[in-house]
Amino acid sequence: MTDSTKGTRITELGRVAVPVSDQDRALDFYVGTLGFEKRADVPFGDGHRWIEVAPVGGAAAISLVLPMEGQSPGVETGIILTSEDIDADHAALRDRGVDADEEVQRWGDPVPPMFGFRDPDGNKFMIVQ
């Protein structure tokens, strides 16, 4: 049991919201191109949709949300995804036409190999091994 005077009852990172201009296009990219699974796609509120995608078997999800007023897609998400084979995933994403860095960055120990990519709205992500 958590002592509420020293912390909270927060147990995990469940999901992060990424602003997208077109939820259908984003869903196609995350599921069709990245190979994520669709976990939710349900209407709510006044004509809105709640969409969640995640790497297959992953604990945390990404919510594909329309931008709030004054916000726009194309953000530095700060999201870092994990790959079991960085070179294969880099090549596969570039072959599929994803806007990914030209090369995998290799800084040496203890920094893992990594590269960045952008979704169709320009939202930025990193993949590390």
Per residue in 15-32, pLDDT (tens digit) is: 999 999 999 999 999 999
**Stretch among 20-24, 67-71, 94-98, 119-123 having the lowest mean pLDDT:** 67-71
Average pLDDT (84-101) is 98
Spell out a b/e string for 101-126, using b for 16 or more CB atoms within 10 Å of the CB, else e: beebeeeeeeeebbbebebbbebebb
Give the C-alpha separation, 32 to 89, whole Å: 14
Q: Token pair of 33, please? A: 């191109």
Put simply, whether the predicted model's pTM sits higher than 0.85 gets the answer yes
pLDDT, one tens digit per residue, over 41-59 is 999 988 899 999 999 999 9
Task: Assign 19 to helix, strand or coil.
Answer: strand
Place of tokens 């006044």: 46
Alpha helices by DSSP H, listed for the chain, are 23-27, 86-95
Res 6: pLDDT: 77
